[in-house]
Chain A
Amino acid sequence: MNKQLTLDHADAALEFNKNEAKVDWHDETLWFVRTKRDRAVAQIPEWEQLREAASQIKNYGLSNMHDLLIQFEENAIRNGIKIHWAADGDEHNAIILDIIKQAGANRMVKSKSMLTEECHLNQFLTDKRIEVIDSDLGERIVQMRGEPPSHIVLPAIHLTKAEVGETFHEHLGTDKGATDPQYLTEAARQHLRETFLTRKVALTGVNFAIAETGGFVVCTNEGNADMGVHLADVHIAAMGFEKIIPRAEHLSVFLRLLARSATGQPITTFSSHFHRPRPGQEMHIVIVDNGRSRQLGRPDFRNSLKCIRCAACLNTCPVYRRSGGFSYHSAVAGPIGSILAPNLDMKQNADLPFASTLCGSCSNVCPVKIDIHDQLYKWRQVLMKEGYGPGSKTVAMKAMATVLESPRLYRMAGKVGRGVLRFAPITVENGLNPWYTQREMPEPPAESFHDWYVNHKKA
């Protein structure tokens, strides 16, 4: 585990900002993706209607979750797929371990799945002496480094080419100092090819599960999910239950939105449809709750389950771009992660809804119209009311409220405050005042507007 994972967001962000050149690079790289997204969506005049359609389909899904999941299960079983239900991460991990053991295997190849990150599957299997190789290139890179992904679509976006070259040199024996992407990618592909050919068990995520057909769709840009499962005897698909959509025709809406929002591509390079195991193959789907029903039961936050994990909200988030994925100490980083994580653990993630200026860019870029910034605001209210804030903050806020609700106290405090700034600035202009560390204080006027108004207007 990364040492940064123990810091709260502000402290981790402070660490990240110690290397300003790196922050600039991180910011510009992700802004480039956001710009690509803007160009791609501008080519679709009906973009806003598409978002609305997706949002409505997802709303329908959330309101009919039970029926749709039952329908999905029935159809999938009829197609010869084995369905497993997991209440939480532990059950999810145990079920997968069981399937691997049944297959007589001790190693597995895996394509991208944020759900398995959420459940800490890799660590669990490694502890049980099952070797797991991530086959998504970015995920493989961070896996070799012993880090979690820092972004849900671009897992290694926090690394420069030089850092990747260093990692490959260490783990794959590439030339020292090599940074040529072509050369490095080739090395990774050779290494993964050997993995694909020798694994009996392959795991994928699920992007969309279709109730009507009992099938599911996995989207990747590298084709690594297909490589894994086509060569394996056992295909396990890990699925958060909110991935359900009612009918196959709805895919047309989501597939147009997903890749454009994620990377600015018209469509993901591979959208692989799985409906039944091929002859001789076993296919399993593990349907996971892990707090999702709890979130579904919270009217203010249930919308967060509409997420299709495109990462547009991360790319656009000015805070994410300048604090890095690890600062969110959660499998899903960025604005969406900050509204999902408190559901999993309010105490541990109480800082995340505050890692935002509430600028609202996330909500408006979101292809399924999740009211992300409003939920961030609402989480703040819940967390502070339930006592997850630092005690000093509560005291300060209470004092502030007392002053600001009384016109008399407010005017007195204002006068004193301005006086202090004017006549003894050193008391506030010091290193202990976080405003002043890198910014000048505003220059205090002799007279407030109130006083001016009384003196000039009334006269």
Chain B
Amino acid sequence: MSDLFDHYAAEMAGAAAYDEMFTPEQRLRPAYEQIGQVLDGLSLGDVHARADSMARSFLDRGVTFDVAGEERPFPLDIVPRVIPAEEWAVIERGVVQRVRALECFLDDVHGDQRVVADGIVPRSLITSSAHFHRAVWGFRPAGGVRIHVAGIDVIRDQQGVFRVLEDNVRVPSGVSYVIENRRAMTKGLPEAFMSRSIRAVEAYPRHLYRALRATAPEAAEDPVVVVLTPGVFNSAYFEHALLAGLMGVELVEGRDLVVRGDRVYMRTTDGEQRVDVIYKRIDDEFLDPLHFRPDSVLGCSGLVNAARAGNVTIANAVGNGVADDKLTYSYVPDLIRYYLDEEPVLPNVDTYRLEEPEARAWVLEHLEELVVKPVDGSGGKGLVIGSTATAAELAELRAKVLADPRGWIAQPVLQLSTVPTFADGGFGPRHVDLRPFAVNSGDGVYVLPGGLTRVAMQKGSLIVNSSQGGGSKDTWVLGQPQTQDLDPGRVPPADVDGTVHTWPVSASWQDEGDTGQEQQQQQARAAGTGKGAPC
């Protein structure tokens, strides 16, 4: 390896984590050979220049996320995370399986609750969930799908095993960075793409749009799909705009919508237009002031009634938060066995349920060794890592857990796998996780090859969330030719007679000095083929 990685071996040696690029003996793993060769040819200065240029292009293109009103580019690291085809196949199967099981579970929760009657989960799991909404109990959403889009967070543990860390089936975000990262990487590290086949990611919006249309209310002949955003100040606004743009649909805010007679309309320059499918990117609680927070100005009154009446599809369905609950997460392997009669493809991370007295007592004694998480938190909010917390923080945590055991789970501290990352002027190992995205159209689940790899930019940190200073990496799934993701009909046919079409030039061009000779040659060739002559 080049001297770019001189310090890497030393830093890696001290860590217990699995490194995605190097074996413990400092050998390149096969999937990274191409990356290794390309980086070998670069100096530290080259890497700096490329990283700067990538950041600059993100800023110009507005690939940003919003922190306290300030738009920041989402840091993209120059070293991609590479996943070999056979490993990806496992993740893909595991994600699809999980989405199918959770879809069954959510349907059951909002209906007969067989899962409770059969003793798989306690009734209190459902009734005490902050995201169980009675307003949506007892009906099947139009289109029959509840999880249109899922982001299942996966990590790789010390042994190299992929495990599911959490399920996001409400409004999983980040897919826009998958698309933009790829675009930036083809310009930032073009050499690495040349000999390897890396599966393309640009098909995602097509799959999403198809799924949204497929799940429209039956009465809609030519369904009108919209994306509902909280607005320009939302941290994920860039993503909302990108997805709407790539699907070619309107990006609406709550105030663009109006519900009349249990039907949803948007206000256009041409009067009110019927809306059939709403891809909502706001939390349930803000969706409909009639049923949820009455002070919300982000949603639109009457949406839930319109959905109940079967006149509009809301994606993802209201009430999906029951499945996002981290206590529910601890039951997902059981749910997979119960609903699908299959063994889980991807294991969970070991999880302690703090409402169980024995587990609670043990956890409270071992707080320093564990990660404790609130069940309804996201973005790393409220999470406490025992080994780095102060005594005061642990005391506070203990009190919170005792006051509301249902509200917390505990997990062992996992050494997330590492990937070389350019930070502080050189390459160092940084921890990563992975969020694959799945799209469910009701007749099948599509998993975008790759997903968002988030990386903790701070040395040793396990917190990868963008809101807490994390960055991302392009995720490459190897193995299958890129053309697989293209429609065969879109590949242009080969030129039949194989002739070269030259550029038509005007006569006056020939007199202009140094290019004249070449132009004349082109003219001659053009005359020979009978094509491309001046018109």
Say whether A and B bind each other.
Answer: no
Chain A interface (Cβ < 8 Å from any Cβ of B): none
Give residues in B with beta carbon < 8 Å to A: none
